[in-house]
Amino acid sequence: GAVVSQHPSRVICKSGTSVKIECRSLDFQATTMFWYRQFPKQSLMLMATSNEGSKATYEQGVEKDKFLINHASLTLSTLTVTSAHPEDSSFYICSARDPSGGDEKLFFGSGTQLSVL
Amino acid sequence: DAKTTQPPSMDCAEGRAANLPCNHSTISGNEYVYWYRQIHSQGPQYIIHGLKNNETNEMASLIITEDRKSSTLILPHATLRDTAVYYCIVRGTNNNDMRFGAGTRLTVKP
């Protein structure tokens, strides 16, 4: 199946710094990618939809100025957590659909565990 | 997308079949049923999906009732590595995104 690569897998940063997470579709082109956040023992929560060449669409309650999304190419979307604080500590996961696959299933990255000190 | 209801947890003996139920009574005609699972600290893994016919692949079988208001994911011979949270998701063909409910935490015991 299609592969979605996410990097880094784990990051620890100081409060107030910014952290960038990359999501790449390795063997297909993704016009749309999705970013999720997951707190311990909770389900995945959709944060935003990343659209290649245009602005991301954010879910209600997600601050677009804090979670900057850039989808500069058909294989790369980035999520930047700006001025991170301890409450931003979470597991961040991206996903994408392979449009050539002929169906609607999404492929997920392996996730990024962010810890803000 | 239609809302789904799953039991919060289930246990299964190793080597036995694991049957995970999902209710989606408000499903509409163009919505598919998807199953994903998430092993601790990893991204979700696709298992199977279907519209109205039963489906089988190398991982599992999906049984959808005739009225499509519920479905069951069957892992025929559960192993310890199948311990994970299993998510049942209903999604229409017009929707790009995928929204997760609480899922079922399956624990396979030796």
Note the pLDDT tens digit of each residue in A46-84.
999 998 888 999 999 999 999 999 998 999 999 999 999
What single letter denotes the amino acid at residue A47? Answer: M
The model's pLDDT over B3-36, given as tens digits with 9 standing for 90+, comes to 899 999 999 999 999 999 999 999 988 889 999 9
CA-based nearest residue to A92, from A3, A6, A4 = A6
pLDDT value, residue A101: 67
Q: For chain B, give the mean pLDDT.
A: 93
Q: Using alpha carbons only, how large is chain A's radius of gyration in Å?
A: 14
Mean pLDDT for A18-35 is: 93
pLDDT value, residue A92: 98
pLDDT band at A7 (very low <50, low <70, confident <90, very high): very high
Report the range out of A18-22, A25-29, B96-100 with the highest average pLDDT.
Answer: A18-22
Q: What number of C-beta contacts closer than 8 Å exist between A and B?
A: 53
Residue A111 and residue B66: Cα distance in Å, rounded?
37
The model's pLDDT over B48-64, given as tens digits with 9 standing for 90+, comes to 999 999 999 999 999 99
Is the CB of residue B8 less than 8 Å away from at least one CB of chain A? no
pLDDT value, residue B2: 64
The enclosing H or E element of A116 equals strand A112-116
Across-strand partners of B40? none
Chain A environment of B42 (Cβ under 8 Å): 110-111
CA separation, residue B29 to residues B23, B66, B69, B87, B99 (Å): 15, 12, 11, 21, 18
Residue listed under structure tokens 């899922």: B103
DSSP letters along B14-27, please?
TTS-EEEEEE-TT-
Q: Which residues of A touch B (CB under 8 A)?
A: 1, 4, 6, 32, 34, 36, 43-46, 49, 91, 93, 95, 97, 103-111, 113
Mean pLDDT for B30-48 is: 93
